[in-house]
Amino acid sequence: MQVLTILDQIDLGAIALPEFQRGYVWNRDQVRGLMQSLYRRYPVGSLLVWVTETEGAAAKGDAPLAPGYVKLLLDGQQRVTSLYGILRGNPPAFFQGSVATLTGLHFNVEEETFEFYAPVKMKDNPAWINVTKLMQEGPGALITHFASNEQYKEQLPTYLGRVADLYGIRDIHFHVEEVAGPDKTVDVVVDIFNRVNTGGTKLSKGDLALAKVCAAWPDARNHMNACLKKWRDAGFDFRLDWLLRNTNTILTGEAMFSALKDVSVPAFQGGLHDAEKAVDTLLNLIGSRLGMDHDRVLGGRYALPVMSRYVSKRGGKTTDHKERDRLLYWYVHSFLWGRYAGSTESIMNQDLKAIEPLDGGLDRLIGHLRQSRADLHIHPEDFAGWSLGARFYPLLYLLTRTCGAKDFCTGVTLSSHLLGKLSRLELHHVFPKAYLYKQGYELTDVNAIANFAFLTKECNLAISDTPPDEYLAKVAADQPGALESQWIPADPELWKPENYLAFLAERRKLLAAAANELLDGLLAGGIPESEAVYDVATAHALPTGGIGGEEEEFAILDLLEWVEERGLPLPQLGYELADADTGALLAVIDVAWPDGLQEGLSQPVAVLLEEPDFVQSTVNQAGYLYFTSVEAFKEYAASEVLAAGAPAA
């Protein structure tokens, strides 16, 4: 089938993308490589489609499908989408990805190479032609373009031949292999998909289960995405698999997705509704009682499907405050000890069976934890971890939010400053990082959890790199009780650099004591009620993003050195991306060039390291070309911006 015919078939709804396919994931190098291969008439593989009846076919996007039968792409999505975007000038209706990947491809008729638009390299250079413009307008204008340029007079036939070869990509034939027949169920087709996509990401069990659901209820994904968006807007980034797991446990009492095979569409719709209500309830409980009100401090998200089943069977809520707090006690311990870090489904099934019947269910859940841990008492050495990824990092945030911790500069209780209002708290190193590195301490000591505290942004900036024996003494004098409220050892000798390791040891003892007091209070139902109430339905997400840990800092330092060596403009770090109309803070970008790498000539550029999908989407919608690794950015800068094509490393 000719390339143009394939694109026409997409427009007619005769070729579409199955619902279980993931979105577009190619980068510009892969797009450029495809076009280079097609230009040279190299083989680029065949297409595989699933021929199925239009009625009941679950396809991505809102475009109508052709009546009768439709061909759903099983293998070839990236190639076909790339060709559609380059030749049509816009992506197909089923597109999910970054449009920038398909925008601005140019061809050099002298070197026969493809590059994405770079103003410094291409401006006023007639050898570069816009590929999309050629495909849409034809080669006529280019004949005049080259014929009128004296420098191309001798090479005119050669260059026009190359333009014709490029334009001829529209007529290249792809072999299309078809999978058809009544025996080709969704299960069989997904198995075929996984086999032919050996180099890509396999479909998960959740993908398969969702494909079955969508085949019977095509609008299922839209309903689920609406739930995910609501929680994302409140600061929680969950996946479809996770929501499906909550729905499954509520409907079937099982963790395995295979349990959904006999669930009817009306039953699934009811289960999804109950799952949404249960998750709302749980996020409100966790946010209000534990202060864990955004994604980066939410531990143990795979405990929530068990909790969803529990509260759903209770009619959507717990019976009283004691039951609620005991459920939260189990939840905290489940993530502290990595209850679901291993065989998630088998452990989840154990816990689901433990709550059947509900009476005594919490005792059995807690009993399972005691069997695996023997001791649920927290010891000082449990706080010996380091980095923001450690399991006890969320516990430190929890303690800060629920135990009356005070800001060092204002004395304001941080729970009342933040809880229910979603103002921004920042991570603070009690002993500043730069200060400790100068004293010769290692990375793991510098970023020990016992060196972390939380402060308001203004206070964190005010303290900056001030030596701890200076600013802690001032806090003790100006804000009585503030240091004790954040479990800072009171002995000034421990604030000196030579006693830093002793400071960590003493603070771990204080943190462990505070944690045990809090958790024992939850178990006994004796924790006072919080005045502030968190409501996921009205909450707005914290501006998210930013440099999140030591590894990211090292990567960014390497990037800054690389940029400076090549004479490129230095970026802004921790750049706050604001809404142009309202001024509201949307995201914090790790590394940003708001005016582009060539000021005034190229689009804004960002590097986002270890950021969730919705941060990437926010930055993309703001018009930024973004990269999720330092290496990808270097390749872009070397090939697209540095005129000489500097090496990427």
| Per-residue three-class SS string for 153-170 | CCCHHHHHHHHHHHHHHH
504-510 long-range Cβ contacts below 8 angstroms, 24+ apart: 504/445, 504/448, 504/450, 504/451, 505/380, 505/450, 507/383, 507/430, 507/450, 507/451, 508/380, 508/381, 508/383, 508/384, 508/450, 509/380
Q: Which of 169, 166, 138, 143 is nearest to 156 (CA)?
A: 143
Strands (E), 444-603: 452-456, 544-545, 572-578, 585-593
The pLDDT > 70 percentage for the chain reads 88
> Is 23 a residue whose pLDDT tops 90?
no
Q: pLDDT confidence of 641, banded at 50, 70, 90?
A: confident
Q: Which of 103, 63, 62 is nearest to 82 (CA)?
A: 103
For residue range 80-99, list pLDDT tens digits in order: 999 999 999 999 999 988 78
Q: pLDDT confidence of 537, banded at 50, 70, 90?
A: confident
The pLDDT of residue 647: 38
> Is 640 a residue whose pLDDT tops 90?
no
Average pLDDT over residues 378-403: 85
Q: Which residue has the tokens 């955004």?
A: 294
Vertex 641 angle, CA 640 and 647, to 5°: 80
> Is 419 a residue whose pLDDT tops 50?
no
Joined tokens for residue 458: 């203004």
- Give the separation between CA 164 and CA 135, rounded to whole angstroms: 11
Q: How far is CA 594 from CA 119, 153, 385, in A?
A: 17, 42, 37
Range scoring the smallest mean pLDDT among 324-338, 443-457, 631-645: 631-645
Spell out the domain ranges in the chain: 3-177, 204-368, 380-524, 544-641
Q: Are 543 and 471 in contact (CB under 8 A)?
A: no
> Is 386 a residue whose pLDDT tops 80?
no
Contacts of 427 (CB under 8 A, 6+ apart): 388, 452, 453, 454, 460
Question: 481 in the Ramachandran plot: left (φ > 0), alpha (ψ -120 to 50) or beta?
Answer: left
Joined tokens for residue 97: 């990805």
Q: Which of 112, 116, 40 is nearest to 639 (CA)?
A: 116
Higher per-residue confidence, 23 vs 92: 92
For residue range 542-556, list pLDDT tens digits in order: 544 444 445 566 677
> Is 540 a residue whose pLDDT tops 90?
no
The pLDDT of residue 574: 67
- What is the chain's mean pLDDT, rounded? 85
Please tell me which of 18-32, 446-460, 486-500 the model is most confident about, judged by mean pLDDT.
Answer: 486-500
The pLDDT > 90 percentage for the chain reads 46
Please tell me which of 96-105, 163-172, 436-445, 446-455 the model is most confident about, judged by mean pLDDT.
Answer: 163-172
Average pLDDT over residues 391-402: 90
Q: Which of 549, 271, 517, 548 is nearest to 395 (CA)?
A: 517
Q: Are 65 and 50 in contact (CB under 8 A)?
A: no
Q: Which of 2, 324, 306, 47 is nearest to 170 (CA)?
A: 2
Q: pLDDT confidence of 616, banded at 50, 70, 90?
A: confident
Higher per-residue confidence, 473 vs 413: 473
> Is 421 a residue whose pLDDT tops 70?
no
The pLDDT of residue 646: 38
> Is 648 a residue whose pLDDT tops 50?
no
> Is 199 a residue whose pLDDT tops 60?
no
Q: Which of 23, 21, 1 is nearest to 178 (CA)?
A: 1
The pLDDT of residue 424: 56
By DSSP bridging, strand 572-578 and strand 544-545 are unpaired
The pLDDT of residue 74: 84
Q: pLDDT confidence of 63, banded at 50, 70, 90?
A: confident
The pLDDT of residue 582: 57
- Give the separation between CA 20 and CA 206, rounded to whole angstroms: 10
> Is 190 a residue whose pLDDT tops 80?
no
Q: Which residues pair with 572 in a beta bridge?
A: 592
